[in-house]
Amino acid sequence: MLGFVFALIIGNLAQSIMVQPISPDFVVKPGSYQSKCGLYGLIPFKPTARKLFQALPLDENLEPRILSCQDEFLHVAKDGFATIYNAEKQAVLVLEGAVCTPRVPGCVNGLVMKGDNKSLEIGGKPVKQATVLKSYKTQQLSPWPFEEEPTRLRYKTVSELK
């Protein structure tokens, strides 16, 4: 029983870290992932799980949080790109930046939203354009993956991302 309680505490801690939106001046390191639904997004076979859940005598208010979250992932790659993927693992938005070189003092490797003006940078290079799928163009970047909507960002819509 104590192991189960410990696992629940660790799971809740991991969940709170995984779903936390990126706040200004926080650096998302290259090679890392952020998840919109956190551990809830890892539940396989959601329709089957939803039927099983509805058969249980539990509070109905829990179901939407656990089973109805449409997961998205933000991946900050080591090559200066940040990509948002939908639940089907299809790239829906790409941000292009750079990779810091040792010669550039003060360069921050990774994705960061500058706190003073809410602009985005990857590898010290300002991100001025987001390439986004047409079907995703109405989505906002706040409240997820960013705590606040980035400024100074133009959107270029395309029918397919690579």
Q: Which two tokens stand for residue 19?
A: 């779903």
Q: Which two tokens stand for residue 98?
A: 């750079």
Three-state DSSP at 63 gives helix
Rounded distance between C-alpha atoms, residue 80 and residue 86, angstroms = 20
Domain parsing of the chain, residue ranges: 22-37+72-162, 40-69
Spatial CB neighbours of 117, under 8 Å, sequence gap ≥ 6: 151, 152
Q: Is the pLDDT of residue 1 over 70?
A: yes
Residue 42 DSSP label? G
Q: Which two tokens stand for residue 105?
A: 């003092």
Looking at residue 60, its pLDDT comes to 58
Range name among 44-48, 109-113, 149-153 with the lowest pLDDT average: 44-48
- Give the rounded distance of the alpha carbon of 21 from its chain centre: 7
Three-state DSSP at 141 gives coil
pLDDT single digits (tens) 45-104? 556 666 666 666 666 555 555 556 778 899 999 999 999 998 888 999 999 999 998 877
pLDDT single digits (tens) 19-56? 789 999 999 999 998 888 877 666 665 566 666 666 66
Three-state DSSP at 150 gives coil
